[in-house]
């Protein structure tokens, strides 16, 4: 069993839909990263959070430390949101990341 | 502001040839540095990390090695590439204190033929 699990693996949505991607982890963490990987491979850090909720534009990330669960929400989805979304658990004094397998999101018109 | 560079962007190498990928960070000092690999259809995997010059920790046994000759330079090497070394290699940096966010370079796509 992976230490970081994501669901769903693949997600197709129509433009404007509200999207939720879930992440569960079994390791002790200092924080959780949400990352976005575009088709070319480049990775952008969307959020790093260790408690509560963060919001940036149409993106919202929440984390429940007791339940070891985090969610990434996209409101009013748009085709440009199409990408792979990856959650990663930050652990240890060297801030090592353990990655989920990613969620491939396709937003259509 | 901090920036991270990787080169080359793409590389095609024959099996058995050597490899050297370079990563440099600007605008910060004493960063933690990381090498990750993403094999085709697979998730990201931590290969090496470094908390200081000359200090390298390996996460998985493999055909690769890493070195940190300068504070903001991280090099990934191999003496003889295998087909299984193909993948997308990402370098990242974070602040030296625990719990710091990581920032990723643009990546190198390596194809071993």
Per-residue pLDDT for A44 more than 70? yes
The C-alpha atoms of residue B16 and residue B35 are separated, in whole angstroms, by 21
Per-residue pLDDT for A22 more than 80? yes
Is residue B28 less than 8 Å (CB to CB) from chain A? no
Chain A interface mutation, best of B31, B44, B47, B56, highest count of A Cβ atoms under 10 Å = B44
Residue with more model confidence, B77 or B95: B77
Closest CB from A30, A44, A88 relative to B98: A30
pLDDT in tens, B10-45: 999 999 999 999 999 999 989 999 999 998 888 899
> Which bin fits B107, alpha (ψ -120 to 50), beta or left (φ > 0)?
left
Per-residue pLDDT for B61 more than 80? no
| B92 contacts in chain A (CB < 8 Å) | 97
**The tokens of A44 are what?**
């952008």
> CB-based contacts of B41: which residues, under 8 Å, 6+ apart?
none
- Chain A, 45-64: which have a CB under 8 Å from a chain B CB? 45, 48, 50
How much of chain B exceeds pLDDT 90, in percent? 78
Per-residue pLDDT for B97 more than 80? no
- Contact criterion met (CB below 8 Å) for B6 and B107: yes
pLDDT in tens, A69-83: 999 999 999 999 999
Half-sphere exposure of B32 (CA within 13 A, CB side): 21
């Amino acid at each position: 069993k992976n230490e970081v699990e994501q669901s769903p693996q693949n997600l197709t949505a129509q433009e404007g839909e509200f999207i939720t991607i879930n992440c569960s982890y079994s390791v002790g963490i200092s924080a959780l990263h949400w990352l976005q990987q575009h088709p070319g491979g480049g990775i952008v850090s969307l959020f790093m959070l260790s408690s509560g909720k963060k919001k940036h534009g149409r993106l919202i990330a929440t984390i429940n430390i007791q339940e070891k669960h985090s969610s990434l929400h996209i409101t009013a989805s748009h085709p440009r949101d199409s990408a792979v979304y990856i959650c990663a658990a930050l652990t240890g004094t060297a801030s090592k990341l353990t990655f989920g397998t990613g969620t491939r999101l396709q937003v259509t018109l | 502001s901090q920036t991270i560079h990787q080169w080359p962007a793409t590389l095609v190498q024959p099996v058995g040839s050597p490899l050297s990928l370079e990563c440099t960070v600007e605008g910060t000092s004493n960063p933690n540095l990381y090498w990750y690999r993403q094999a085709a259809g697979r998730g990201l995997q931590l290969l090496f990390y470094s908390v200081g010059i000359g200090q390298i920790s390996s996460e998985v046994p493999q055909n690769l090695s890493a070195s940190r000759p300068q504070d903001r330079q991280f090099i990934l090497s191999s003496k003889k590439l295998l087909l299984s070394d193909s993948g997308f290699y990402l370098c990242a940096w974070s602040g030296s204190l625990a719990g710091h966010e990581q920032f990723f370079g643009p990546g190198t796509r390596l194809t071993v033929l």
